[in-house]
Amino acid sequence: MIVTGRPAGGRRAQDREILRLAVPAFLALVAEPLFLLADSAIVGHLGTPQLAALGIASAVLGTLVSLCIFLAYGTTASVARQVGAGNTSGALAQGVDGLWLATLIGALATLVALPLTGPLVALFGPSDRVAELAATYLHLALLGAVPLLLMLAATGVLRGLQDTRTPLVVAVVGNLANIVLNLVLVYGVGGLDGLGIAGSALGTLIAQLGSAAALVAVVVRAARRERAPLRPDLPGIRQAGRAGVPLIMRTLMLRASLLVMTYDAATLGDADLAAMQLALTIWTFLAFTLDAVAIAAQAITGRYLGAGDAPGTRAGTSRMERWGWLSGIVTGLGLAALAPFLGPLFTGDQVVQDLLVPVLLVAAVAQPVAGIVFVLDGVLIGAGDAVYLAWAQLATLLLFAPVAWLVGGQGLVWLWVAFAVCFMGGRAVTLILRARGDRWMRLGA
């Protein structure tokens, strides 16, 4: 079902709409890391070298996905704007352009990265055995670049059409299939020998192909129903690519902030680095909760602006800000309550556990700020205000990096205080100031 215009019924209707989009988005976001944990467990039972190789391959593939997340975010915004304007055919035409762009980038990434598999793995400095296994995995996994990016783009199209349920169903079914395929191909079945870590890569590739086919089929069927063109439109593809550049820059700034954190922690010692890794893992998991509201914000904001509804955009933004604060308070209280108990779930090292608790308490205090940051980030992405987001992200990084360098030697707690105050606080200031103005509210298709 494609929703247009503003929901009738005031705040309750707005809340229902936010929940309708955010809850399936949250479940889909959480499903992915949970199933990746299952992959790690399957490969981990092959041995430590195999698990280390999976870690290297995952880092390479994760970088590709993070740089190409604009295929989902940018497509959501452009499609939602056309939906709000009542131009469903135009919305799907832009969505199809996004699919072609994903195909082009995925094919290019495969052609460029495949010959560079060895050097990419060598950057991590692994042993010969781990390097061989990681290269084996990457050679197969990189063949899945096209379906992986098509999944991102198609998910963005469906979110723009105000449909977050279909991506959830595909994510769950695809990841369940991934687990079954991994078990069969890694360990073998019916007297057939398993393929080891290559079986894991092959199983994931097959699952990605199936998931991409299912999502693309839904988009193509909708495009045919609305008589939207399916052929590649070069001007449209170029426009989608240009729109993605500032989102890529924004993502690079975000990744750089995490690298600053990791580098400073590494200078403190192995225990601090381990605690930092656990803290960032927990922070990232909580971010999925907050990002679900941000995804709803992208879809709703784009639709309101496309409909030329400035009051509706303001009202929707205000309501989503409340959801952001509330979500952040809930996750913050939960993290503070669980902080003393999370360390033992991940490590038996008492030193790491002791370092982790105060860091998590700082992260808990920062959660309400993170809630409003994520929501307003989604609002401005939905408005197509990515250029401002890129510059604001750069300014925040330039503030945070020197402060992190100055206080990093004082310990992890001070490093996280700098992250909470300078990085998250800086993002909050730039986003709130922007949202209070009108320059981002460009109305119409």
Q: Dump pLDDT digits (tens) for 87-126.
A: 888 888 888 888 999 899 889 989 998 888 888 888 777 7
- Whether pLDDT at 142 is above 70: yes
CA atoms within 13 A on the CB side of 323: 31
pTM, entire model: 0.78
d(CA 159, CA 22): 10
The model's pLDDT over 267-302, given as tens digits with 9 standing for 90+, comes to 777 777 777 777 877 887 788 778 888 888 888 888
- Average pLDDT rounded to a whole number, residues 25-43: 70
Alpha carbon 271 to its chain's center: 28
Residue 73, burial from CB neighbour count under 10 angstroms (0-12, 13-18, 19+): buried
- Average pLDDT rounded to a whole number, residues 7-23: 71
- Whether pLDDT at 163 is above 80: yes
d(CA 424, CA 445): 32
The pLDDT of residue 346: 66
Whole-angstrom Cα Rg for the chain: 22
The pLDDT of residue 95: 86
Q: Which residue has the higher pLDDT, 4 or 45?
A: 45
Residues 58/141, Cβ–Cβ less than 8 Å: no
The model's pLDDT over 301-353, given as tens digits with 9 standing for 90+, comes to 888 888 888 888 888 888 888 888 998 999 999 999 988 888 787 667 788 78
The pLDDT of residue 376: 92
- Report the chain's mean pLDDT, rounded to a whole number: 83
Q: 77 vs 28, 295, 300, 400, 425, CA distance in Å?
A: 19, 10, 9, 29, 25
